[in-house]
Amino acid sequence: MEHVGFHYDPDCDYSLHGAIGAMDIICMHCYAAKFRGETAGMCCSSGKVKLPALEPPPEPLHFLLTGESPTSKHFLQNIQAYNSCFQMTSFGATKIIRDSFMPTFKIQGQIYHRVGSLIPFADADYQFLQIYFIGNENDQLNQRCNIAIGTRREIVPNLQRFLNEHNELIRLFKIA
């Protein structure tokens, strides 16, 4: 189970490994599943907070998030790569510390987003937010698939269409 947090496997029943126990305590107010020893009332403030039921996500997200098909399982195993296809900025920090002791890194100092120019520099590929300004959907698809290794070409256009249809900001740019 070492480093399992970095590689989700939808076929794995993580409750069998019992490292922190099962979520077998049910809140009597909101019915949230909780770990033994978790603070009472932490989920809903002992019934004072009532959230509406979650609606299932629209397609194609619902299909991709169920884990019931080989395509869905692939998507869940590579969700970080698909996220990279559509990111508009990159993450940065003024001081990143890497050492051989920890498999991860520590961030100190200022944390920021690198936004960059809306137009790529001469002889540079479109990246991040710039991809949204490529006029041709197929060129956007090609650029996204080139950026993110491990993505399937048949999944990316469905996500691209979904985001374009449901993103008010993108629609405003296309109108202008």
Q: Where are the domains of the chain?
A: 8-54, 57-176
pLDDT in the model for residue 109: 72
8 A C-beta contact, residue 103 and residue 118? no
Residue-wise pLDDT for 116-137, tens only, equals: 777 888 888 888 888 877 778 8
Q: What is the dihedral of CA 76, 81, 86, 91, to 10 degrees?
A: 120
Q: Enter the pTM of the model.
A: 0.63
Q: Where are the beta strands (DSSP E) in the chain?
A: 25-26, 33-34, 90-98, 105-114
pLDDT in the model for residue 22: 75
By C-alpha distance, which of 170, 172, 144, 174 is closest to 157?
144
State the Cα–Cα distance between residues 142 and 161, nearest whole angstrom.
14
pLDDT in the model for residue 153: 94
Residues in the chain with pLDDT < 70?
Answer: 1-6, 18-20, 96-108, 168-176
Tokens coding 49: 């907070």
Torsions phi, psi for 39 (to 5 deg): -60, 130
* Residue in the structure block whose two tokens are 């197929």: 138
pLDDT in the model for residue 27: 92
